Amino acid sequence: MRPSWDEYFMEIAETIKKRSTCLRRQVGAVIVKDNRILTTGYNGVPPKMRHCDEVGCLRRELNIPSGQRHELCRALHAEQNAIVQAAKYGISIEGSTIYITNQPCIICAKLIIASGIKRIVYSGDYPDELSLSMLKESGVEIVNFRLS
């Protein structure tokens, strides 16, 4: 049976997350408009830096719980990388949908709101109620999607 568009793009996000070099959580993101992929991203360090799987994870070493102290991470989140990629190549993501393999954190939620993304489809939980609250307040449609 042919997958729905949400199933199709969530499966692609699941594949994209395999490129992640994060030692704690692999996340993939796909930004789509009119059922066409605009950009993708996975969590990993900025270009020209050594990856976490090479140098270790400071958050793991300091035993920092998930969802806290984002500033102590070398990596960008998948959503951040997808949004940065759009900016770098001059691609408008206004009115688009972002598919993410985890619920966005508060930092990513603010970037999603500010960038004009209108819909989020995500499949995994993340300990950040404030992000969901802000997304709802801003009018971003949120779909909690589970792959079968």
Q: What is the pLDDT of residue 147?
A: 59
Catalytic residue among 11, 79, 129, 141: 79
Q: Are 145 and 10 in contact (CB under 8 A)?
A: yes
pLDDT at 66 over 70: yes
The domain spanning residue 18 has which CATH number? 3.40.140.10
pLDDT at 40 over 80: yes
Has 77 been labeled as part of a binding site? yes
Region of residue 63 (left: phi > 0; alpha: psi -120 to 50; beta: else) = left
Question: How far is 26 from 61, CA to CA, in rounded Å?
Answer: 18
Has 73 been labeled as part of a binding site? no
Sign of the C-alpha dihedral computed for residues 74, 77, 78 and 81 taken in this order: negative
Q: How many domains does the chain have?
A: 1
pLDDT at 125 over 90: no
Q: Are 114 and 85 in contact (CB under 8 A)?
A: no
Q: What is the pLDDT of residue 132?
A: 93
Range of the domain at 42: 5-144
Establish whether 11 is a catalytic residue. no
**Sorting pLDDT into bands at 50, 70 and 90, what band is 93?**
very high
